[in-house]
Structure 1
Amino acid sequence: EQGISREEFPEAQRLIALIEKVDPKAPALPRLKSGLETGMKTAASRSEQDAEQAKKLVEDKAKQAAEQKRLAEQQTREAAAAQQIAAQQEAARQQSAEAERQAAARRQAET
């Protein structure tokens, strides 16, 4: 029973086999076998659940990394677009200033 509770199933199986060899009609034998079987099923189920949780965690981390990458790429595109708009605005400002300077020069020349 202690081996089963500690999930030392090979040791528990060995001890149950010894009991069965010594006294095949031992009253505790069916209970021990049943407990061993239940314990092994429970451990297998828990192990399967742990594997599923680990798999889900890995998938979640992959999704999170992909989302972070997507956001970083989006920020890069937005920064490039903002830089391009700023450059266009600066070029338009310079063009406007140049046109104003030329107009002022023409007015000066006319007077």
Structure 2
Amino acid sequence: MDAPRLREILSTYSTNDPEFQKSNWHVPDDAVIECGTISRESLLHTYQRRLRRTGENHALRIKTENLVTFLQDYPEEEIIMIDYYVTGGGMMLFLANSECSRILLWMSMFK
């Protein structure tokens, strides 16, 4: 996936996620964007374990709970994960539909 295409689907997604819209997201033209298929069950297992270790970090706990709930309810066995790094070392990470045409969830704990 190239930067213009990712900007397009993120622009559409931002209309449905006020927190993402407020994040001042930006996809640089030279962003290295990785896009690949991952097992929903594998992600669910990973984040259920992380949820048990979030401790007192309330914001992280809520974001992780939301992700776990999303994954539990997601009907397909595989999901597309899209990521790119931003200036300053941060990462933007998203889950997309199997056609990679629509962002389903921003994994905001990685911002």
TM-score strictly above 0.5: no
Structure whose residues are more often helix by fraction: 1
| Greater Rg by CA | 1
What is the TM-score normalised by the length of structure 1?
0.24
